[in-house]
Structure 1
């Protein structure tokens, strides 16, 4: 459980650094994501989750 919380905290740190370093680009990216259909966002999110799971499987296996 500690590893999960640490991983989530690291994701928050990385996201915060991106917003701090590139605020205008992040605003533009969020606006472009908002224009996408929900099905596209869902497909990309599920693909990212699957790639993440495969990477974890290789790293932890």
Structure 2
């Protein structure tokens, strides 16, 4: 469970740094996400989740 919270913390650090360093790019990215169809977002989300699980599994071996 500790690894989960470490991962969440790292996510917040990286996202926070990106928004702090590049606020205009972040706004454009959010606008692009809002304009993207739900089905495309769903597919990207599933692919990212599977990729993350595979990466974790590979690193844990």
**Structure-1-length-normalised TM-score:** 0.96
Determine the C-alpha separation between the residues in 1 that align with 2:6 and 2:52: 16
For residues 2 and 55 of structure 1, the distance between their equivalents in structure 2, rounded to whole angstroms, comes to: 18
RMSD, aligned CA: 0.5
Distance 1:14 1:29 in 2: 15
- Structure 2 residues without counterparts, runs of 5 or longer: none
Show structure 1 runs of 5+ residues with no match. Answer: none
Structure-2 residue corresponding to 1:13 = 13
- Structure 1 position 54, deviation (Å): 0.4
Q: Give the TM-score of the pair, scaled to structure 2.
A: 0.96
Q: Segments of 4+ in structure 1 off by > 6 A? A: none
Residues 14-37 of structure 1: per-residue CA shift (max 9 Å, x gap):
000000000000000100110011
